[in-house]
Amino acid sequence: MAEFLPISRRDMEARGWAQCDFVYIVGDAYVDHPSFGHAIISRVLEDAGYSVGILSQPDWKNPDSIRALGEPRLGFLVTGGNMDSMVNHYAVSKRRRETDAFTPGGVMGKRPDYAAVVYCNLIRRVYPHATILLGGIEASLRRLAHYDYWSGKRKRSILLDAQADLLMYGMGERAVVEIADALNSGLKARDITWIDGTVFACKAPDDAVEQIVLPSYDAVVKDGRKYAESFRIQSRNTDPFTAKRLVEPYGPNLFVVQNPPQKPLTQQEMDHVYDLPYMRTYHPSYEPLGGVPAIAEVKFSLVSCRGCFGACSFCALTFHQGRIIQARSHESILTEAEKIIQDPDFKGYIHDVGGPTANFRHPACNKQLTKGVCQDRQCLFPTPCKNLRADHSDYLALLRKLRNLPGVKKVFIRSGIRFDYLLADPSNAFFKELVKYHVSGQLKVAPEHVADAVLDLMGKPRNRVYQQFLEKYQRLNQQLGLKQYVVPYLMSSHPGSTLKEAVQLAEYLRDIGYNPEQVQDFYPTPSTVSTVMYDTGLDPRTMKPVYVPTNPHEKAMQRALIQFKNPKNYRLVHEALVKAGRTDLIGYGKKCLIPPAPGERSKPMPKKPASTHRRGTQPPKGRRGR
């Protein structure tokens, strides 16, 4: 019978363990659900025959907290949590967040800033000679020199700051078992240098292995162009079939070495990972504290795939899960759905069936599983590749099976639809059933912006593609006699967005009559193309200069323009329109965004207002978005 892994000495004794093979230090509460990385890694190790104890959110101010389960036989595993601890703690304004969904009761402050580094250093103080294996999203995206938004500096590899022996990047199921087997055979961590999906430090790299030497850390710190060049090389080496070993020098006698990514899991391997005996909820010890809020988002959702070939510039998925899609079988997903249905709290609604992008269920083209992805060509951007296999038939068949399960009233899709991929499918079958069965009144999509100049830098499809999607969505709703709307996710202050492009976005919102309740200001997180732009002012793909809004006041104006109807934003919107030379939008006309200030004379709209938009990026007419 399945049970939670030990979290105390008493639990270990109940299992007859004197010592764990691995102790897993986790920045989140212990949630044994396959949507949580620590749950997957611990269950994969257990399945491979290793004993794992979970030490969740230890008190980093008290070294004794690390001793709770004793010293493990093989080593400590460390993760900052399901989110980067700094993103978890701070909004883009660097204001401290009030709650933490991954902590019992949603309490903030139960983990430190830069949690992965702090936990590793604490272990090193208490157990100087213990093996430390670092993993998770925080480590994965900081594995080489990177820009850290919260300190405003280019930092060195987290492996060095953490004093860890090995870093596992990506999803890690293959790597962690290979490392465990190597340690169990008697090898020292310093000798484990060949495993895909790992990073290690050494005094001299092995010249017998094909490798690329990156700009040194000293060069990266001093010169933004060198950092952009380094990142470009890294981004061209994220594919497990074509990537080379990367070497980053730190002076004459220290090198950080990144092995190529781990190979994609086969469907059988994916099924096995998700079929392991998870308890599917948080540890019962958290019940008196109010449980763990994050479980609500995933408890009745199904992971169907991983990886993403969308390659949005502001997303780090290319660096973490990669561009090759890996999918579970229908049988595995249906088996998990039947477990969900049996949950006493299930009300008949499956909240999501998807992954990073819900409608990606197979590799973008047939060659990717043997030859890898293209280094110099994206699958969807700037236009869909001629070799793209845009086919929703497998996903549609899966959704039909889920809808027909006894006890299921509705199956929603919430993890995001890539609308350009949807339009590339010559069949309308999936789009029609999406509208008919899988939308709860509002479909959330992510055009992010309407100015093509900004969309190009975002790696997103051009605005006309989004307009085509809206028109088709409206047409299908009319055919089906439904009144459902699109809720667009929009981003302010992305690199490339001047006040002119921000005004263009505001005009679009005026034309469609949409007033967003929330706005996402661009957040520079480690290891994204957009973050490199933000830091260096260069697009690492082309090395061309990019305008970057970094001034907090300008960013506030861009954000306010998206919510121009909010009276609290009046002064910022007024200032932005004046600075952008768009005072024609201040007045009482139908095209105006705001009325004049007291004592200010309203200016009539000119017959042909001077265009402030870049060529080919005029805002659409009418109310097609609602």
**Backbone dihedral angles phi then psi of residue 390, each to the nearest 5 degrees:** -90, 100
HEC sequence for 439-458: CCCEEEEEEECCCHHHHHHH
Token representation of residue 326? 């890996």
Q: What is the dihedral of CA 319, 308, 540, 194, to 10 degrees?
A: 30
Task: Specify the long-range contacts of residues 618-623, CB closer than 8 Å, at least 24 apart.
Answer: 619/450, 619/504, 619/507, 619/508, 619/511, 620/450, 620/463, 620/467, 620/508, 620/511, 621/511, 622/511, 623/511, 623/512, 623/513
Burial 599-621 (b: 16+ CB within 10 A, else e): eeeeeeeeeeeeebbeeebbbbe
Residue 625 has a pLDDT of 31
Report which residue type is found at 82: N
Token representation of residue 347? 């009300």
Dist. CA 6–CA 471, nearest whole Å: 54
Dist. CA 192–CA 22, nearest whole Å: 17
Nearest C-alpha neighbor of 223 from the set 551, 544, 538: 538
Positions of E strands within 345-402: 349-350, 352-354
Residue 376 has a pLDDT of 84
With a cut of 50, list the residues of the chain below it in pLDDT. 608-626
Dist. CA 432–CA 63, nearest whole Å: 58
Residue 71 has a pLDDT of 98
Residue 598 has a pLDDT of 86
Residue 186 CA: distances (Å) to CA of 2, 53, 129, 172, 589: 30, 21, 15, 21, 78
Token representation of residue 258? 């990144």
Token representation of residue 175? 């790597």
Peptide bond preceding 382: is omega within 30 degrees of 0, i.e. cis? Answer: yes
Residue 600 has a pLDDT of 76
Dist. CA 348–CA 40, nearest whole Å: 26
77 close to 264: Cβ distance less than 8 angstroms: no
Token representation of residue 558? 């861009």
Residue 384: CA count within 13 A, CB half-sphere: 18
For residue 135, list its beta bridge partners: 79
Q: Is the sign of the CA dihedral 231, 232, 237, 238 positive or negative?
A: positive
Dist. CA 624–CA 579, nearest whole Å: 29
Residue 603 has a pLDDT of 60
How is domain 9-258 classified at the architecture level of CATH? 3-Layer(aba) Sandwich (3.40)
Dist. CA 585–CA 510, nearest whole Å: 11
Residue 449 has a pLDDT of 96
73 close to 127: Cβ distance less than 8 angstroms: no
Q: Does domain 300-440 have CATH number 3.30.750.210?
A: yes
Dist. CA 196–CA 51, nearest whole Å: 23
Domain residue extents for the chain: 9-258, 300-440, 480-626
Determine if the pTM surpasses 0.85.
yes
